[in-house]
Amino acid sequence: MPIYREAQLQEISRQFQIYGEILHAETCKIGHINETYSATYDQGGTRVRYIHQKINRSVFKNPAGVMENVMRVTAHLRQKLQALQVRDITRRCLTIVPTREGQSFYCDSAGECWRTFVFIEGVQTFESVQSPRQAFEAGKAFGFFQNLLVDLPGGRLADTIPHFHHTRKRFQALQQAVSKDHSNRALSAKAEIDFALRHEPIVDVLLNALAGKKIPERITHNDTKFNNVMLDTVTGEAMCVVDLDTVMPGCVLYDFGDMVRTTTSPTLEDELDLAKVRVQMAMFKKLAEGFLSTAAAFLTKAEKAHIAFAGKLITFTIGLRFLTDHLAGDTYFRIHRPDHNLDRCRTQFKLVESIEHQEEAMQSFVDKLDRRAA
């Protein structure tokens, strides 16, 4: 790590209630948004690690709101885990280390906002699911996370990224990108544009259900990628859900839908061989089993009835975003080859087709699980 980073972290380390000498620090790959370091301290002859993280203010415009959400959520999670007499609570819930002044984050002279967490030992994350068992653990972890937050006291959480999963707004953005066609790419992407336009009837299904109070607004994670679940290195059990910056009011189905998108296909999201892109029913079944094992008690009948549809909708929504960025000249998502965002879009839309072919069987399986649990 560059010397200036070492010097900066030395200064940052003195702002938090950490006692001991910082020995060294290194970059830590946790998410793709914030700048993150793991730092090792000598505390009375024992080496202890912490996470120092700089909040990305270009993404999170209101870091105080983000941290207020995180503080409320983690405090409630800890209280609920204690009431359940769960062991290893500091490995099952993020622990925020306060500043010397008792605040949840520190702003340096440059206006950058820093926060510190206790490092969770003995866990690992994966970029993609390796087995049906892992799919089950992911579903169980996110369902349990949402279950614990059903009765969060106090007012409504802040919207840290407004309209994060608003499919209608994403669809409108695509229409504008097609109309403007700044990069003259609409012709080469005609098949994908036509696919998107044909699927407009699904855009407002959940939005209308939320607006009509048929589906409740809940506290949701909103970024339920598999790598946001920490698994015990020995047992493989899901221990802790991380990356809480997008925890805010939302729809529980969006969370499950993104799990379907990121855990059920054997390929990465930019797979060139579309013949490989498909929903693996075995993965979906384990994901649904895990999720319903911890979430079924609080889900409404209407939410359960849209579980398979949610996977299709969120996958379609992400595909819209990739296609829109491709037409706009690749201004948002980082690309590594020509037409990379178009490739990503094609992969998402192919997965949408796979879900459509199996949607009835997927929902039928969920319904059977629900009847069995009743």
Encoding tokens for residue 225?
């990628």
**Does residue 4 have a pLDDT over 50?**
no
Phi/psi of residue 201, each to 5°? -60, -20
127 in any annotated domain: no
312 in any annotated domain: yes
334 in any annotated domain: yes
pLDDT value at position 189? 97
% of the chain residues with pLDDT over 90: 80
User: Are 319 and 341 within one domain?
Assistant: yes
92 in any annotated domain: yes
260 in any annotated domain: yes
361 in any annotated domain: yes
User: Are 214 and 305 within one domain?
Assistant: yes
Q: Which of 227, 247, 254, 251 is nearest to 238 (CA)?
A: 227
Positive or negative: CA dihedral 119, 120, 124, 129: negative
Positive or negative: CA dihedral 316, 318, 324, 327: negative
* Mean pLDDT, range 252-272, rounded to an integer: 93
Residues 6 or more apart in contact with residue 84 via CB below 8 angstroms: none
User: Domain boundary residue among 121, 149, 173?
Assistant: 121
User: Domain boundary residue among 68, 96, 121?
Assistant: 121
User: Are 299 and 160 within one domain?
Assistant: yes
Residue at token pair 């819930």: 93
In whole angstroms, what is the distance from residue 41 CA to residue 38 CA? 10
Q: Which of 152, 208, 170 is nearest to 348 (CA)?
A: 170
Q: Which of 170, 247, 167, 175 is nearest to 208 (CA)?
A: 167
User: Are 112 and 183 within one domain?
Assistant: no
Q: Which of 180, 116, 110, 203 is nearest to 331 (CA)?
A: 180
Q: For the whole model, what pTM was predicted?
A: 0.90
User: Are 180 and 76 within one domain?
Assistant: no
- Residue 3: which pLDDT band, with cuts at 50, 70 and 90? very low
User: Domain boundary residue among 121, 152, 174?
Assistant: 121
pLDDT in tens, 266-303: 888 899 999 999 999 999 999 999 999 999 999 999 99
pLDDT in tens, 324-365: 999 999 987 888 899 999 999 999 999 999 999 999 999 999
User: Are 108 and 139 within one domain?
Assistant: no
CATH number, domain at 144? Answer: 3.90.1200.10
User: Are 179 and 305 within one domain?
Assistant: yes
User: Are 51 and 92 within one domain?
Assistant: yes
Encoding tokens for residue 213?
């109070």
User: Are 205 and 307 within one domain?
Assistant: yes
Our count of domains for the chain comes to 2
Distance from the Cα of residue 317 to its chain's centroid: 15
The torsion defined by the Cα of 95, 99, 101 and 103, in degrees rounded to 10, comes to -60
User: Are 158 and 285 within one domain?
Assistant: yes
pLDDT in tens, 187-221: 999 999 999 999 999 999 999 999 999 999 999 99
pLDDT value at position 1? 39
User: Are 154 and 246 within one domain?
Assistant: yes
User: Are 55 and 163 within one domain?
Assistant: no
126 in any annotated domain: no
pLDDT in tens, 151-168: 999 999 999 988 889 999
354 in any annotated domain: yes
**340 is in which domain, residue-wise?**
132-373
CATH number, domain at 110? Answer: 3.30.200.20
